[in-house]
Amino acid sequence: MMFLLRAIFWIAVVAAFVPPGFTASGGLFASDMERLLAEPVARVSEHVQQPAPAAQVQQAESGICADYGEVCEIWGHVTTFGGVIGSMALSQADAMIEAARESDTAARATTR
């Protein structure tokens, strides 16, 4: 019960500081997110439209996919999108780490 109260409290605190155009379709945040997500969505759609290898087709015909084929198809799209987003996150993290190392090296060279 205490966890729920804390969760509600912190959600309310965060919601109080959300900018006015955060969820509006024409707001600043929405236009920025549309611009940022346009490239990954295009890459995902390229991967999704590629034909599936024969091994994946055989696997999809067995088990739950035999009864609910659309679930397996949707899961394939989700995992592909997750892979693209994960690779983007890793590249961003690598760039941030490299920038931090460079700034640390520059700061050490300045203090010497």
| Nearest Cα to Cα of residue 48 among 87, 85, 86, 80 | 80
Determine the Cα–Cα distance for residues 58 and 81; give it in Å rounded to an integer: 22
52 phi and psi, to 5 degrees? -80, 140
Mention every residue, 6+ apart, whose C-beta is less than 8 A from residue 83: none
* H or E, element range at 96: helix 69-111
Mention every residue, 6+ apart, whose C-beta is less than 8 A from residue 79: none
pLDDT by residue for the chain (112 residues), tens only, comes to: 889 999 999 989 988 887 766 666 666 666 777 777 777 666 666 666 555 555 555 554 566 677 777 777 888 888 888 888 888 888 888 888 888 888 878 777 777 6
